[in-house]
Structure 1
Amino acid sequence: MSTYKGQTPSDLKVDPRIVPFFERFYAVSDDPEAHEEYAQSFVPDADFAMGAKKTVGYDGILELRHGLWAGPVKSRKHSLTKIFPFGGGSNELMLYGTVAYGLKNGKEVTVDWAARAVMAEHQDALKFKLYQVYVDSTPVANAAKE
């Protein structure tokens, strides 16, 4: 079973494209070479925040994405646990899961994360209009120093 396939509430109508979108997105997110594909998951003027780092638009997202792989992290493996839509058929969601980091110094660290996502139609596809990730980077920074 894919670790990217999050559960959704059984009593709410959820856009059937949501779960496959996130399954693909987190697989792309964990691929250190898929920078363009990652940035193409967003509408052109999307807002994106990863912890304290914030940007707007395709070029900013692409630059931030390159930076995520330029530091101490050698590998990522996301596990998406649950997807919570804000009401049936909503395009606004909360998500949570874990991410296991493999560091360039050989250490491994797993941390919890949560995210807020607002989805939008763009060129006949579902994409992020807003994606804000809440993650504590302290465990990774501490392990990178050791």
Structure 2
Amino acid sequence: MHQPTYPETFHDETIKQWIQDYYTAVDEDGAVETIADFFTPDAVVQMGEHGVSDRPGLIQFLTSTWDYVASRSHHLVAIDSLGKDTFLARGTVTYNLKDGRRVTPEWCGIMALIQQEGEWKMAYYKVYFAAFPAF
């Protein structure tokens, strides 16, 4: 995965590694349980018009993101701090669709992280697409 830029004042290597691990997992087909483990059990997650706020809903949602997708690859451009443990991630994602098409929309996501039992977890994640691909 491409290393995004961070503000010069951002030095928390544990969060940098967490972000890298998260987007690596998101690009793995079938890794929905692993991806869900990055979130709190009651995380609010919204991608485009679709949203969930509990783990069973998140698992179902994550599974559905592969319905039309053969593979995907996130390219993070930058991570910016929006305040205490809240970040704006920006980049592109290339979707190789099952029907043979390939689309690469720009996106950004606001993520709020919290510490739970010594581990970072995402409590909130909202993704915005510049142009949502028509699956």
Using the size of structure 2 for normalisation, the TM-score is 0.93
Q: Which runs of 5+ in 1 are unaligned?
A: none
Q: Hey, what does 2:85 align to over in structure 1?
A: 91
**3-state SS of 2:65 partner:** helix
**3-state SS of 1:86 partner:** strand
Q: Rg larger in 1 or in 2?
A: 1
Residue 127 (structure 1) shift: 1.0
The equivalences for 1:87-126 within 5 A come to 87=83, 90-126=84-120
Is the contact between residue 76 and residue 91 of structure 2 (CA under 8 Å) also seen in structure 1? yes
Seq. identity, %: 28
Pick one of 44, 48, 66 that aligns with 1:47: 44
RMSD (CA atoms)? 1.4
Q: Hey, what does 1:8 align to over in structure 2?
A: 6
Residue 46 (structure 1) shift: 0.7
**More helix as a share of residues:** 1
Is the contact between residue 30 and residue 63 of structure 2 (CA under 8 Å) also seen in structure 1? no
Q: Deviations over 1:6-27 (max 9, x none)?
A: 21111x2343212111111111
Is the contact between residue 25 and residue 41 of structure 1 (CA under 8 Å) also seen in structure 2? yes
Cα distance change, pair 129–14 in 1 and its aligned pair in 2 (3 A): farther
Is the contact between residue 35 and residue 65 of structure 1 (CA under 8 Å) also seen in structure 2? yes
Kindly provide the amino acid, as one letter, of the partner of residue 77 in structure 1.
S
* CA–CA distance in structure 1, aligned partners of residues 29 and 130 of structure 2: 21
Residue 86 (structure 1) shift: 2.0
